[in-house]
Amino acid sequence: MAGGIGKKLVRRKHESPTPRLEFQVANVRSTMWPLLVPMIALAAAWSPDRTREQTVPGREAWEIARRQGFEFYPVLPDARYVLSGPRDGVATRLKLCRLPGLPCDTEAELLDGAMTVLEPRCPGRCARVHTFEMFTGRRLAPGWRIARFELSGGRYSWGREPRYGTADASFALQLEARPGLPVTVTIRSISLVGPADTDWRQAFAAR
């Protein structure tokens, strides 16, 4: 009998508590997991880093931006030129005044956000190039950045490219017109990245 008892004591002494501990951990997991899932989802929904990209028509973005004080205008090449109209791109014209007292000639204009350089009148081969400043004078609201511009129209080149990934939406565009070929360029669309649950118009809100 003594020998049997001794063997039983030895076996109990060397038994591992691991199976019981694993059962307890598994029981805790099965109890807590249904509570953790909605908490994780809620935290993700309210995360300040949650953003999304919104692509909107260029004309709508221009309309909102100009109302908030962003500027749109042709650049003055030299002292012979004047601007007609406010710098909002509604009806902003660049005029060349050759002589005092004589009418000035319109060479470029922004009408409802569309950039146009009128055809030059000159003998032989010639070209007329003017630069337009767009979305300048202000920055996007905090938490917003510019992702992409899509342009459409005739002959143009970047005078200053947009700073994608930043709150600076401004850019400069050079348009070239040739005899018989006025050129017009419009902003087809703008892509903005900002808070996921916020309307894109807030990107241009006054600061």
- For residue 204, the 8-state DSSP code is G
Same domain, 30 and 67: no
The whole domain housing 141 covers 51-204
Q: Which of 39-48, 155-164, 192-201 has the lowest mean pLDDT?
A: 39-48
User: For residue 180, what pLDDT band results from cuts at 50, 70 and 90?
Assistant: confident
For the chain, give the mean pLDDT. Answer: 85
Look at the alpha carbons of 89, 91, 96, 99 in this order and tell me if their dihedral is positive or negative.
Answer: negative
Same domain, 36 and 136: no
Same domain, 36 and 79: no
Q: Does residue 55 sit in helix, strand or coil? A: strand
pLDDT on residue 100: 87
Q: What is the mean pLDDT of residues 4-21?
A: 49
Look at the alpha carbons of 49, 53, 57, 58 in this order and tell me if their dihedral is positive or negative.
Answer: positive
Same domain, 163 and 84: yes
Q: At residue 25, does pLDDT exceed 70?
A: no
Same domain, 176 and 126: yes
The single residue listed with the structure tokens 């990209």 is: 53
Q: At residue 28, does pLDDT exceed 50?
A: no
Same domain, 37 and 130: no
Same domain, 90 and 158: yes
pTM: 0.75
Number of domains in the chain: 2
Same domain, 30 and 77: no
Same domain, 64 and 166: yes
Q: Which of 2-6, 75-79, 131-135 has the lowest mean pLDDT?
A: 2-6
Same domain, 110 and 144: yes
Please give the Cα distance from 195 to 202 (Å, whole number): 10
Please give the Cα distance from 18 to 8 (Å, whole number): 19
Same domain, 92 and 19: no
CA angle 8, 11, 13 (to 5 degrees): 110
Q: At residue 62, does pLDDT exceed 80?
A: yes
